Homo-oligomer: A and B are copies of this chain.
């Protein structure tokens, strides 16, 4: 890793195969993330186009389709019936967790490639069914981990693979946000265990350091120990208003994580090794600043123009590149399923106050 790599080609798409063609998308679930982030991102992609918008409300879907030059807006029922399926090649599933399965099952039946938001589903069992549906239908399935194509994360991975930190010693990740300030509704789906699944903070936020550390270090968790608490009334139905955990990664490497949906926004992922340290700080909220240390050297790399829209543009183009080229997808369904098993173990550990082996 040279200065050239950090400055001259910091945001190089080292994954790109320059395929021919365009992937046409149906966007399923028109919440704020899809509307405010995904749609603008798609307008800036090289290989993607939104052609069909899918919502519970035909009026909302049609209105947004009209505004964004998509072909049409349809309802969830129409999607399941295959309405307009000739107009798209792939689906983006951006609904609440517990509804992913049904949309992926239909996509598999229709032979459409799937980019599915994380966590894959509300439970391990449902995520397994989701992955198996895609496999049975022979359709590509990617779990939407946007950190895998974040330039700062990719450069961090190159540095780690090149031995920049020497032997990793430990990792720490944090991801917090004040969800009730962002969405001032105590009945929002992220706080409803029937829709979110095991809980809220680990499923929605903790998954970032868990998955990104796993990606950067090429090591899976082998054991977890966690503690959780919920004290605020809005969190009465979920166990993890706050959560802290220690994951043991392959080779005995400790990954400590903290997460909360009821805290100041903050995110960090740090890997300290015998020879250096790599830090993403902030890491997971659309602003990934890379900080490097080796001996007495300190380097900070901050792409101030890169944001969540840019992150989603990279993610969609990566997915489209793989769909068009037929090359393997790295964060595929099995990759996302592994994180579901880890999250389930984190919750089981906190509930039983036991170390859980994976």
Which residues of A are in contact with B by a Cβ distance under 8 Å? 165-166, 169-170, 172, 174, 176, 178, 225, 227, 229, 242, 244, 246, 248, 252, 254, 256, 258, 260, 262-266, 268, 270, 272-277, 293-295
Contacts and interface: CB of A to CB of B under 8 A. Distances in A.
Contacts of A166: 264
Contact of A272 (B169, B246, B266): B266
**Copies of this chain held together in the complex:** 2
Choose among A165, A172, A229 the residue with the greatest number of B CB atoms under 10 Å from its CB: A172
Contacts of A293: 264-266
B246 A169 contact: no
Contacts of A272: 174, 176, 258, 260, 263-264, 266
Contacts of A252: 229
A78 B263 CA distance: 57
A54 to B, nearest CB: 33
A263 B169 contact: yes
12 contacts: A165-B264, A166-B264, A170-B174, A172-B174, A172-B256, A176-B272, A227-B254, A229-B252, A244-B256, A258-B272, A263-B274, A264-B274
Contacts of A246: 227, 244, 246, 256
A257 to B, nearest CB: 8
Contact of A172 (B178, B258, B274, B277): B258
A264 B294 contact: yes
Nearest to A279: B266
**What 4 pairs across the A-B complex have the smallest Cβ distances?**
A244-B254, A169-B263, A264-B277, A170-B258
B244 A262 contact: no
B264 A275 contact: yes
A282 to B, nearest CB: 10
Majority SS at the chain A contact face: strand
Counting chain B CB atoms within 10 Å of each CB, which of A178, A256, A277 scores highest? A256
A306 B276 CA distance: 24
Nearest to A260: B169
A244 B272 CA distance: 12
Nearest to A226: B246
Contacts of A225: 225
Contacts of A264: 165-166, 272-277, 293-295
Contact of A169 (B262, B270, B274, B277): B262
Given A260-B272, A264-B274, A176 B169 contact: yes
Contact of A242 (B169, B174, B260): B169
A13 B98 CA distance: 56
Contacts of A227: 246, 248, 254
A265 B295 CA distance: 7
A170 B260 contact: yes
A163 to B, nearest CB: 13
Contacts of A265: 293
A295 B265 CA distance: 7
A301 B273 CA distance: 27
A268 B252 CA distance: 23
A168 to B, nearest CB: 9
Contacts of A276: 264
Contacts of A268: 270
A274 B181 CA distance: 11
